[in-house]
């Protein structure tokens, strides 16, 4: 028995993914007869059908489905072994595969990658951006050496993934210039249900954290008037700038717009009963409209009146597979992220 080869497994996977011999051949830059021969030899060697031929089309058989899973595992391990060997050169060459949720990848991670590249210029870094849930699943499946997400790790993956806080971020409730809150600058918790909202999809780490904050504030998401749901924070930001409702968004994403005055961050007064000792004068003041409070603040100047503001602070998690082999490169990059925490370069994580 000759046994299967890595080349045969690569060809088989290409056919299984394309369900087409010619497209698999084009993908691998080999001839179509070479693809057919590799599949035929595997089927003959083990006496099974990997694909069903139906006219000019093919479907993967049960034996093919089994081999597809195992073949992918084998080739992934071979790839890791190759990368490990290449790294035995004082990290002068090699590849680092990162997965990052959108906010982190667009606004926080680039400076970390630049710092790493300045120390290891010969290293190729491949960074994939997607929502937090996709990055968690991809890390669990071995697609990424490390993942970075701002959403929680799902319970189903917590036994597979190690996760650690490496930074934190604040979510801001922001509105555009046409929104009445823009002039007020602050609202009560009870007023959050009185405006249209632009939200992110449920898989988004931003959305997950915003919904947690609402629950902690005693507000059910169903109480909000959600008029738009977007897959990206940039889309939500653009909608808000054009005067559509309010949104909860990372302060990293709106820093420039707030400085330019096209958006305004709205402070939320936590006026829930029993939320700390609020002086009676403040209690009376909370009964005023926001416009009246704004006018009163202008008269009083900078004098503090002891308001309690509700904040949304969320952690940035570094995640990795608990058992999968970790390359030297990923260990070095991971240590750099952890060192930034120890050096105090991130904001202190607060409790809502």
Q: Cα(311)–Cα(153) distance, rounded to whole angstroms?
A: 22
Q: Cα(211)–Cα(42) distance, rounded to whole angstroms?
A: 51
Nearest in space to 86 (alpha carbons), one of 328, 331, 330, 332: 328
Report which of residues 223 and 295 the model is more confident about: 223
What's residue 88's pLDDT? 62
Structure tokens at 140: 């669990």
Rounded to 10 degrees, the C-alpha dihedral 217/221/225/230 comes to: 110
What's residue 285's pLDDT? 36
At a CB cut-off of 8 Å and minimum separation 6, what does 143 contact?
97, 99, 128
Other CB atoms closer than 10 Å to residue 275's CB: what's the count? 13
What's residue 267's pLDDT? 93
What's residue 344's pLDDT? 54
The string of pLDDT tens digits covering residues 275-291 is 543 333 333 333 444 44
Confidence of residue 247 (pLDDT cuts 50, 70, 90): very high
Q: Does residue 151 come out as left (phi exceeding 0), alpha (psi in the -120 to 50 range) or beta?
A: beta
CA angle 135, 136, 138 (to 5 degrees): 60
What's residue 89's pLDDT? 65
| DSSP letter, residue 222 | G
Confidence of residue 13 (pLDDT cuts 50, 70, 90): very high
Confidence of residue 317 (pLDDT cuts 50, 70, 90): very high
Element (H or E) spanning 258, and its range?
A: helix 251-260
Report which of residues 150 and 181 the model is more confident about: 181
Nearest in space to 233 (alpha carbons), one of 216, 214, 215, 209: 209
Q: Cα(159)–Cα(322) distance, rounded to whole angstroms?
A: 8
What residues does 172 pair with on adjacent strands? 249
Confidence of residue 345 (pLDDT cuts 50, 70, 90): very low
What's residue 327's pLDDT? 83
The answer to whether 76 and 141 have CB atoms below 8 angstroms apart is: no
pLDDT at 165 over 70: yes
The string of pLDDT tens digits covering residues 30-80 is 999 999 999 999 999 999 999 998 888 899 999 999 999 999 989 988 887
**Span of 46-55, 110-119, 302-311, 331-340 with lowest mean pLDDT:** 302-311
What's residue 287's pLDDT? 40
The string of pLDDT tens digits covering residues 181-239 is 999 999 999 899 999 999 999 888 889 889 999 999 999 999 999 999 998 889 999 99
Nearest in space to 133 (alpha carbons), one of 145, 146, 151, 155: 151
Q: What is the pTM of this model?
A: 0.64
- To the nearest whole number, what is the mean pLDDT of the chain? 84
């Amino acid at each position: 028995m000759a046994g299967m080869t890595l080349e045969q497994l690569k060809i088989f996977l290409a056919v299984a993914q394309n369900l087409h011999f010619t497209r698999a051949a084009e993908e691998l830059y080999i001839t179509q007869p070479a693809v057919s021969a590799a599949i035929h030899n595997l089927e003959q060697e083990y006496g099974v059908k990997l694909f069903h031929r139906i006219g000019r089309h093919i479907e993967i058989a049960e034996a093919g489905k089994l081999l597809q899973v195992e073949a992918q595992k084998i080739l992934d391990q071979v790839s890791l072994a190759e990368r490990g060997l290449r790294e035995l050169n004082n990290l002068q060459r090699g590849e680092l595969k990162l997965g990052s949720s959108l906010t982190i990848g667009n606004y926080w991670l680039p400076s970390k990658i630049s710092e790493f590249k300045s120390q290891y210029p010969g290293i190729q870094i491949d960074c994939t951006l997607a929502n937090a849930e996709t990055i968690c699943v991809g890390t669990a499946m071995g697609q990424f050496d490390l993942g970075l997400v701002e959403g929680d790790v799902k319970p189903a993956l917590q036994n597979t993934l190690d996760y650690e806080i490496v930074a934190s971020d604040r979510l801001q409730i922001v509105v555009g210039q046409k929104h009445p809150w823009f002039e007020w600058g602050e609202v009560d918790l009870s007023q959050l249900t009185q405006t249209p909202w632009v939200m992110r999809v449920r898989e988004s780490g931003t959305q997950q954290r915003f919904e947690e904050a609402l629950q902690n504030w005693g507000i059910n998401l169903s109480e909000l008037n959600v008029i738009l749901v977007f897959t990206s924070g940039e889309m939500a930001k653009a909608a808000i700038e054009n005067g559509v409702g309010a949104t909860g968004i990372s302060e990293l994403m709106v820093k420039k717009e707030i400085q330019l005055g096209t958006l305004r961050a709205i402070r939320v007064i936590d006026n829930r009963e029993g939320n700390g000792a609020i002086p009676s004068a403040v209690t009376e003041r909370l009964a005023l409209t926001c416009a009246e409070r704004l006018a009163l603040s202008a008269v009083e100047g900078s004098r503090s009146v002891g308001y309690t503001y509700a904040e949304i602070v969320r952690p940035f998690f570094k995640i990795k597979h608990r058992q999968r082999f970790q390359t030297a490169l990923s260990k070095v990059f991971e240590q750099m992220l952890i060192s930034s925490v120890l050096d105090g370069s991130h904001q202190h994580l607060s409790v809502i």
